[in-house]
Structure 1
Amino acid sequence: MSEPLLLVERREAVGLIRLNRPRVLNALNTTLVRELADVMEEMDRDDEIRVIVLTGNEKAFAAGADIQEMAETTPVQFVVKQFFADWERIRRIAKPIIASVSGYALGGGNELAMCCDMIVASETARFGQPEINLGVIPGAGGTQRLTKAVGKMKAMELILTGRMMSAQEAFELGLVNRVVPQDKLEEETMALAGEIASKPPIAVRLGKQAVLKALDLTLEHGLHFEQNAFFMLFSSEDQREGMKAFVEKRKPEFKGK
């Protein structure tokens, strides 16, 4: 039997997904992305899981798309196969997703990391959108998400030259949350995931939605969304527990209700 494309485990309230195509540096083919969307949607429905962590191996988070798979694909086939439909499924995951990146995160790998809500990178991580060297441009959100993350000028340079950037440069540009030693990557990622998992789940979901809305809406419409989410949380048991615990000077016990 062939090895699974994904290795999945649960660590208390954190769901951990590991890309598992090491022979091709975790190149992303359609089957892997579809299975990834399936697993993430399953975790999104699981009340026991509060945060999702996505990672690869020491050599690569994902070194890009599977070029052999797409090289001879026609425009009509891309449309008929709904080539990016599973990427949209990942984008709609409500729970926070943390990318834990070591080695290469290039092309589709960088786009997948940017689909996540936070990125923790090892000092060995390398990010980039080298599609220009293949005669194309990013197609799974690279031009859009990278520009929103690092600004027009730097995104233009990275996309039109196809060069890689170090973890430190990515951190300085605001693409990465933290840069840590290679041997501390899993520990630091899981610590961040555990901290977020300890917070009230409904507030975490709405907080994620509100931040994402800030990228797409005008300030006026974004503030309206934020205020409605704020008001809605006052109907939750976690809001009452959180404020009661604050007054009583004790640690709250959030139940996601």
Structure 2
Amino acid sequence: MTVLYGESAGIAVIALNRPDALNALDLPTLQRLEEMLEMAADSSSAGAVILTGTGTKAFSAGADIRYLSQASPLEVRDFARLAVRITNRIENLGKVVLAALNGHAFGGGLELAEACMIRIVAGHAKLGHPEVRIGAVAGFGGTTRLARLVGKGRAAEMLLRGRAIDAEEALRIGLVQQVASPDELMDAARAVLYDILEQSPEAVRLTWEALHRGLSMTLEESAGLGADYFGLVAATENFRIGTQAFIKKVAPDYSLQRVE
């Protein structure tokens, strides 16, 4: 299988599984990845998702160049549109999706990670958009998402030079949120997700939606959306649990109010 799927303790793990090809993305791999994302979305037992890769060298080296070199322009466009559909699905899965970058993330591989809510990277990994170096464009959404994550200037420098950066620089510019040793990467990813899963699921989902949708709105529209979601979440039982726990100075327990 080019993409693996497993669940444990409320977290689904989706792993790119072409280590001999540095987990490069060919058409069957993207098709399988789309299927696995739907499996995670439909799972009643998984509240969050880790997207990672097998091996220690690469999360993903990006689009499979051998495939692209022999595909027609229309096939390349359709391939990119499939990838865009996948990255959009990652952002709108309805569950927290965290990228655990076990190794290098280049091109389309990095674009998958950029669509995730949170990114944790192994300390030895390098990240970059080398597309221009082969006469290509970051066509899986990178030209849009990278600028939103690190700012227009830094995104332009990475995209136009095709330069790879190390894990510490990625952390400094905000491309990733945490650096971990390879042996501790998955534990670090699970720790972040367990912290999020302890919160009200409605509050988590609506907070992400307000953040994600608000980026394409004016400041006034985005603030209004946040106010609307504040009112919406106030109608939930978990809002009552959370506010009463705050007043009583105890930790809230949302476990009886999980939304499938």
TM-score past 0.5 threshold:
yes
Calculate the TM-score normalised by the size of structure 2.
0.91
Aligned residue in 2 for 1:189: 189
Q: 1:24 aligns with which of 21, 25, 42?
A: 21
CA distance in 2, matches of 1:182, 1:39: 24
CA distance in 2, matches of 1:180, 1:228: 37
CA deviation profile, 1:88-127 (whole Å, cap 9, x unmatched): 3333212111000122100001101101110011111111
Change beyond 3 A, Cα 1:176–1:237 = same
Calculate the TM-score normalised by the size of structure 1.
0.92
Instruction: Tell me the amino acid that sits aligned with residue 22 of structure 1.
Output: P
Aligned residue in 2 for 1:227: 227
Change beyond 3 A, Cα 1:199–1:65 = same
Aligned residue in 1 for 2:205: 205
CA distance in 2, matches of 1:110, 1:71: 20
- 1:34, CA displacement in angstroms? 2.1
Residues 23-62 of structure 1 mapped to structure 2, 5 A cutoff = 23-56=20-53, 57-62=55-60
CA distance in 1, matches of 2:198, 2:103: 29
Say whether residues 1:8 and 2:23 are aligned partners. Answer: no
Verify the 8 A CA contact 1:171 1:178 in the aligned structure 2: yes
Instruction: Tell me the amino acid that sits aligned with residue 91 of structure 1.
Output: E
Verify the 8 A CA contact 1:201 1:256 in the aligned structure 2: yes
Verify the 8 A CA contact 1:25 1:62 in the aligned structure 2: yes
Q: CA RMSD in A?
A: 1.7
Aligned residue in 1 for 2:240: 240
Identity %: 33
CA distance in 1, matches of 2:251, 2:38: 31
Residues 143-162 of structure 1 mapped to structure 2, 5 A cutoff = 143-162=143-162
- 1:210, CA displacement in angstroms? 1.0
Verify the 8 A CA contact 2:91 2:117 in the aligned structure 1: no
Aligned residue in 2 for 1:73: 71
My pick for the range that moved more, 50-59 or 19-28, is 50-59
Unaligned runs of 5+ in 1: none
- 1:87, CA displacement in angstroms? 3.5
Residues 160-171 of structure 1 mapped to structure 2, 5 A cutoff = 160-171=160-171
Verify the 8 A CA contact 1:60 1:103 in the aligned structure 2: yes
CA deviation profile, 1:128-179 (whole Å, cap 9, x unmatched): 0001111111000111111111122221111111110001001110111011
Residues 97-112 of structure 1 mapped to structure 2, 5 A cutoff = 97-112=97-112
Instruction: Tell me the amino acid that sits aligned with residue 131 of structure 2.
Output: E
My pick for the range that moved more, 5-14 or 57-66, is 5-14
Aligned residues between the structures: 254
Residues 107-146 of structure 1 mapped to structure 2, 5 A cutoff = 107-146=107-146
Instruction: Tell me the amino acid that sits aligned with residue 74 of structure 2.
Output: V
